[in-house]
Amino acid sequence: MDVLLIIAPAFAVILTGFVAVRTRLLPESLADPLVTFAYFVCVPSLMFSIVARYPLEGLLGGDFWLAFGGGSMIALLILRFASGKLLGADGRTRTVSAMTAVMANTGFVSLPLLYAIFGDRGVPPAAIANIVIAAIMIPLAVMMLEATGGREGSALSLRCQALQVLRNPMVWPALLGFGFAWAQIPVPDVAERYLDILGQGLTPCALFAIGASIRLTTLQREAGRIVIMTVLKLVVIPAFVLGAGFLLGLDPFLLATAVICAASPSANTAYVLAMQYRTQEEAVAAAISLSTLVAIVTLPLWILLLAVLEPDLFPG
pLDDT at 108: 74
pLDDT > 90 in the chain, percent: 15
pLDDT at 298: 92
In this predicted model, what pLDDT tens digit does every residue of 21-69 receive, in sequence order?
989 999 988 888 887 888 788 878 887 887 787 666 665 666 778 888 8
In this predicted model, what pLDDT tens digit does every residue of 2-15 receive, in sequence order?
455 656 677 788 88
Give dist(CA 291, CA 264) in Å, integer.
8
pLDDT at 316: 54
Residue 282 has pLDDT above 50, yes or no: yes
Residue 208 has pLDDT above 60, yes or no: yes
Give burial (CB, 10 Å; 0-12/13-18/19+) of 121: middle
pLDDT > 70 in the chain, percent: 84
pLDDT at 161: 61
pLDDT at 190: 93
Angle at 206 between CA 202 and CA 212, to 5 degrees: 155
Residue 188 has pLDDT above 50, yes or no: yes
Is residue 73 within 8 A of residue 136, CB to CB? The reply is: yes
Give dist(CA 44, CA 103) in Å, integer.
20
DSSP secondary-structure letter at 184?
T
Of 32-36, 58-62, 210-214, 250-254, the one with minimum mean pLDDT is 58-62
With cut-offs at 50, 70 and 90, classify the pLDDT of residue 239: very high
pLDDT at 259: 94
In this prediction, residues 273-287 reach a mean pLDDT of 77
Domain formed by 2-313, architecture: Up-down Bundle (1.20)
Residue 1 has pLDDT above 60, yes or no: no
Residue 118 has pLDDT above 80, yes or no: yes
- Beta bridge partner(s), residue 266: 104
Tell me the pLDDT of the chain averaged across its residues. 81
In this predicted model, what pLDDT tens digit does every residue of 73-114 receive, in sequence order?
888 889 888 877 777 778 788 888 888 999 898 877 888 888
pLDDT at 153: 41
With cut-offs at 50, 70 and 90, classify the pLDDT of residue 220: low
Give dist(CA 226, CA 294) in Å, integer.
12
pLDDT at 2: 47
Residue 135 has pLDDT above 70, yes or no: no
pLDDT at 5: 60
Cβ atoms within 10 Å of 226's Cβ, excluding its own: 25
With cut-offs at 50, 70 and 90, classify the pLDDT of residue 256: very high
pLDDT at 149: 64
The domain ranges of the chain are 2-313
Is residue 66 within 8 A of residue 256, CB to CB? The reply is: no
